[in-house]
Amino acid sequence: MLGSIAKLLELYPDAQEAFEPSSDPNDYNFLISGQWIVIRKDQLSSKEKFLLSLISQKNDNKSVSNPWWSFLIHENDKVPNEKINVRVIQFEVQKLESDNRANEWLNVFKDTFDDVVDSFWINKYTGILIEKETKSNMDKLEVQRMIQLIDSDFYTKSHVYVGQFWPVDAKLPNIFDMERQLFHKSLEMKDNVNNLSTVILDFLIEQNLKNTDMFKSLKKRINIDAKTTQMINMLYKCDSNLAKTSKELFLHRNTLLYRMEKFHEQTDFDLKDRNDLVLCFLLLK
């Protein structure tokens, strides 16, 4: 695998080997045999990023001996004997100094959940927690608060992807394949805890729209500045509620309406129309 890393560095001369992932949002990180490789995003197409993430996952798969993991990655077709719904919580933790410290971190993380089926490290940085569905499962916000406390105690920097609950059946490995891709996509995002709702738009745009001539041309024609970007993001976040949006932006409602009308005149997109707002929000991605 060291030879593979060397060949990769030949293909991307500006790529760098690193002890931990880069925190620069313009960098793309992936892991091969415990070695982080950092490449600038503008050097990679969507297809290249997808293929590199698959290489990273493939090497992760070889390093774990666990019946749940073997089932999830299609190595073992035997469905675990669990007539339950579970969710897979994936995590990446930076700045753990030793294996003992990593095990301590995982024990604390695991103990904050009520119904853990299994939990384990995949490699030095990433791991899995499988949780049974009950009436008391934490939501994304609660997980985010918990991670902030753990990171504060351990001086770590963690990213968590909270999966959906699914039945334990033959379909689960295929669903997990997609959740693995969403987890890798979530590592590029600003928030340290994500789920399907927070990642799916960015993922779909990157896979299907971002590199099309139509999308590029439309984004260039609209030419959205920083103030307009802030306005569109807040309108979307506030579900088109003008009073709430103006309060969040510290603007008078009439000032907000004026900016929206000006934008309509310049682009022909009416931000009061939900469909136009969603389209403009997607163009910001």
HSE toward the beta carbon, residue 273, CA cutoff 13 A: 10
Query: What letter would DSSP give residue 43?
Result: G
The pLDDT assigned to 62 comes to 52
Q: Are 227 and 234 in contact (CB under 8 A)?
A: no
pTM of the model: 0.65
Cα 47 from Cα 52, distance rounded (Å): 9
Mean per-residue pLDDT over the chain, rounded:
84
Tens digits of per-residue pLDDT, 214-269? 777 777 777 778 888 899 999 998 989 999 999 999 999 999 999 999 998 888 78
Angle, vertex CA 174, rays to CA 35 and CA 75, nearest 5? 65
Cα 122 from Cα 137, distance rounded (Å): 24
Angle, vertex CA 115, rays to CA 121 and CA 124, nearest 5? 10
Percent of the chain with pLDDT over 90: 40
Compute how many other C-beta atoms are within 10 angstroms of the C-beta atom of residue 214. 8
How far from chain centre, in Å, is Cα 152?
A: 21
For domain 212-283, give the CATH superfamily: PucR C-terminal helix-turn-helix domain (1.10.10.2840)
Percent of the chain with pLDDT over 70: 85
Tens digits of per-residue pLDDT, 3-61? 567 777 777 888 877 766 666 666 777 766 556 778 887 777 767 776 766 666 555 55
The pLDDT assigned to 202 comes to 78
Ranges of each domain in the chain: 2-61, 67-207, 212-283
Compute how many other C-beta atoms are within 10 angstroms of the C-beta atom of residue 172. 19
Average pLDDT of the segment spanning 165-188: 89
Write the Ramachandran bin of 278: left for phi over 0, alpha for psi from -120 to 50, otherwise beta.
alpha
| 143 — pLDDT class (breaks 50, 70, 90) | very high
Cα 62 from Cα 70, distance rounded (Å): 10
Evaluate if residue 185 carries a pLDDT over 90.
no
Cα 171 from Cα 198, distance rounded (Å): 23
237: nearest Cα among 250, 249, 254 = 249
Average pLDDT of the segment spanning 79-108: 91
The pLDDT assigned to 58 comes to 57
The pLDDT assigned to 83 comes to 83
Write the Ramachandran bin of 90: left for phi over 0, alpha for psi from -120 to 50, otherwise beta.
beta
The pLDDT assigned to 225 comes to 83
Greater confidence (103 vs 279) lies with: 103
Sequence-separated (6 or more) residues with CB below 8 Å from residue 274: 240
| 193 — pLDDT class (breaks 50, 70, 90) | very high
Average pLDDT of the segment spanning 96-116: 93
Q: Is 78 helix (H, G, I), strand (E, B) or coil?
A: coil
Greater confidence (80 vs 204) lies with: 80
Lay out the sheet containing 16-18: strands in order across.
16-18, 35-40, 27-32
- Just give the CATH number of 67-207: 3.30.70.270
Q: Is 4 helix (H, G, I), strand (E, B) or coil?
A: helix
Evaluate if residue 172 carries a pLDDT over 50.
yes
Tens digits of per-residue pLDDT, 63-85? 577 889 989 988 888 888 778 99
The pLDDT assigned to 95 comes to 86
The pLDDT assigned to 98 comes to 87
Strands (E), 133-266: 157-162, 166-167, 193-195
Backbone angles phi, psi at 149, to 5 degrees: -65, -45
Calculate Rg over the CA atoms of the chain.
21
The pLDDT assigned to 66 comes to 87
